[in-house]
Amino acid sequence: MTIQQIDHLHFNPQLQTLEISYDYEIIETTQTLFNWTKGTSIFDAHPFFQVLQGFEKNDPTIQDGLNFPCIHLTDLVTDRICDISITFNPSEIKIILFDYTLKYKELNQIAQQKNESILIARELELKNKYLLEKEEFKNSFIANINHEIRTPLTAIMGFVEILEKTHLTFEQEELARIIKRESRHLNALIDDMIDISKIESGTLRVVEERFAFLNLVDGFDESYSKIAEEKGLIFETNIEPGIQEYLIGDRTRTYQIINNILNNAFKFTEEGKITLSVTKNYQRTNKLSLNFKIEDTGLGILEEDIPHLFDRFTRFNLDKRITGTGLGLAIVKNLVDLLNGEIKVESKPDKGTTFNIKLPFKFEITKTTPKRKKKNYSLPESSNKYRILVVEDEEITQFLIMKILIATGNFFIDIAINGQDAITYIERRKYDLILMDLNISQLDGYQVTKMIRNNYGDKFISGLPIIGFSGKSDDATKDKCLKSGMDDFIAKPFEQEELLYKIIKQIAKKAAE
């Protein structure tokens, strides 16, 4: 059969047939696809054909011929995608080119889309991984810096409290008061920073707990009435009758939201009145929606500023005497959203501002619980002083705790500067309580606690009251302390009164056993 006959047989103009000698010279060819010339080397036609060099005439692997799909063949004028079939005959090599350019170009588009979408997805995955790593680094940085700042702050606040109890002139008293106020402010800023970081990373969790709601509102009444008195303002709290005394919800975050708004109201109100009103929106079965309305007669906010009120680092008032980072309301908005609530604001410059916050709660329908009050504890009578082991590596905190405890006249203090030291001390001496910093060298506070609880047959050692303390003030740290076997936890910076209360409580409880 001649070459022309083969072409004719296939009725396919998209086909070119070549006969090649074993010297790789073109013996015969149609010129349907490429204008290759008889008598020239097939290698000059396209480098693909140099594949022929790889096979011997009698190579058994090529007896059935070779098929090469989807080969891009180009010469100076033509660009085609062909399937190539090669047959090794005794006297010549027969090559057939099938032009499937159109078919392959269509497939190419599909492959392009498929591969591109995979590559884009991978790229996004990578970007996401990078952002997560960055976020993790930021969170760990904030957690570390938090610890580093709170430690000296604990010392500053503690020593100011001690200083206030000494004989001071009027001017010295005033200066001590300023240091105390600014330290508290700094502490609040750190809290804000931690919160905003948790909100951003999505690690802030809503807690559902039963809590004394009316007690919470009473707390606002008590603390802000004092501030109102100092500033010459009127402060009122109104609670709609019938609101349950105990509610189920996130007490900490509810407190934080209302406290932040009240704090702002007091910051920006120089005269007049601030009111906190709590009313019911609705109550269905065990669900309840409350509205917290906080009205002030302060500076007010310009209408054009209201849409940006909850943006981070937004401060409209440039009076430098009014401190703040501009994070407070951003946190409030995020917390309200997290609790599935709603916040609205109305304001008129020089007239005042009203915030309305709707928050959902639950309540127990049947259970009635007597009002819980903070129980008073006192040290059991003893002819000896109580001995406390303070496990802390920071000298300044050691000194502060010693000052606070020794001033009461009830305690002896030993100091261990690391976990291993703590173990040595408790094996040598009997203690009534351990104050355990969590972040100590050799063995950390959790490890030491676990060893005390598990490694000693002596019940006096294994049952020692342990209070953990740390610059980390979050619930997770507290939970970890309690799970490791500690009896209580106190966050730095702590107030003297709180520290003493917790120590006395644990010693009294132990004595009662």
Partner 1 sequence: MKLSKKVVLLGHFGVGKTSLFKRFIDNEFSEEYKVTLGVQIKKKVVILPDGRELSMIIWDAEGHSNSVEDTRKSYLLGSHAFIYVFDLTREDTYIHLNKDLTYLKENYKVPTKVLGNKLDLVNEKEMIAALKSKDIPFDCLTSAKTNKNVQQFFSDLSIEITT
Interface positions with partner 1 (CB under 8 A): 43, 46-48, 50-51, 53-55, 66-72, 81, 104, 107-108, 111-112, 115-116, 118-119, 122, 126
Q: Which is nearer to partner 1, 50 or 203 (CB)?
A: 50
Q: Which is nearer to partner 1, 119 or 476 (CB)?
A: 119
Are 333 and 312 a contacting pair, CB within 8 Å? no
Q: Which is nearer to partner 1, 48 or 316 (CB)?
A: 48
Separation CA 415–CA 402 (nearest Å): 9
- The 10 Å Cβ neighbour count of residue 106 is 11
Q: Which is nearer to partner 1, 122 or 181 (CB)?
A: 122
Q: Match 């060298």 to its residue by tokens.
A: 441
CB of 335 to partner 1, least distance (A): 39
Stretch (H or E) spanning 353: strand 352-362
Q: Which is nearer to partner 1, 71 or 338 (CB)?
A: 71
Separation CA 82–CA 345 (nearest Å): 71
CB of 54 to partner 1, least distance (A): 2
CB of 69 to partner 1, least distance (A): 6
Nearest residue to 311 via CA among 335, 329, 337, 299: 329
Q: Which is nearer to partner 1, 116 or 245 (CB)?
A: 116
Q: Match 């702050």 to its residue by tokens.
A: 153
Token duo for residue 465: 């009251």
CB of 9 to partner 1, least distance (A): 25
Q: Match 């709290």 to its residue by tokens.
A: 237
Encode 481-506: b = buried (16+ Cβ within 10 Å), e = exposed: beebbbbbbbbbbbebeebbbbbbbb
Between the two ends of the chain, the Cα-to-Cα distance in Å is 111
CB of 68 to partner 1, least distance (A): 5
CB of 125 to partner 1, least distance (A): 10
CB of 106 to partner 1, least distance (A): 10
Token duo for residue 158: 């503690």
Q: Which is nearer to partner 1, 64 or 171 (CB)?
A: 64
Residues 6+ apart with CB under 8 A from 501: 377
CB of 37 to partner 1, least distance (A): 19
Spatial strand order of the sheet with 411-416 comes to 411-416, 386-391, 433-437, 466-470, 488-491
Q: Which is nearer to partner 1, 50 or 424 (CB)?
A: 50
Residues 6+ apart with CB under 8 A from 196: 312, 327, 330, 331, 334
